[in-house]
Amino acid sequence: MKDQVTIEYCVPCHFEKQAVWLAEEIRDQFSERVSQVILKPTQSIGCYEISLGTELVFSKKDSGRLPHPGEIVQLIMMRLF
C-alpha cells in the first residue's frame, strides 16, 4: 500500500519554494512507497506541516523552526521502513 504525503505551507511567509523542493525530494526518494505528494497552500501565518497519511511528521508550529535539510526524508523513512 502506498502512502500520501501532504505539505501544508504558508503563502504569505513565502514557503512555497521550499515546499516544492521538498515535494520533489520526497518523490525522488520514495517513488515506490508514496502514491502522491500534495502541496496545500494556506494563509495560516508560519504554517509548515508535513503529514504522511493522517500522521503529522513535522510541524513548524510545534518545533518552532523549519526542518533541517534531509530531516523530513529521514522522518518519513523511519515511518515507512
Q: How does pLDDT run across 56-65, given as a tens digit for each residue?
A: 999 999 999 9
The rounded distance, in Å, linking the Cα atoms of 57 and 76 is 7
Q: Which domain holds residue 42?
A: 3-80
d(CA 19, CA 63): 17
Q: How many domains does the chain have?
A: 1
Overall residue count recorded for the chain in this entry: 81
CATH number at residue 8: 3.40.30.10
Q: Tell me: the pLDDT tens digits for 2-51? A: 799 999 999 999 999 999 999 999 999 999 999 999 999 999 999 999 99
The reported pLDDT for the residue numbered 1 is 55
pLDDT at 27: 96
| Angle at CA of residue 61, ends 57 and 64, nearest 5° | 100
pLDDT for position 81: 87
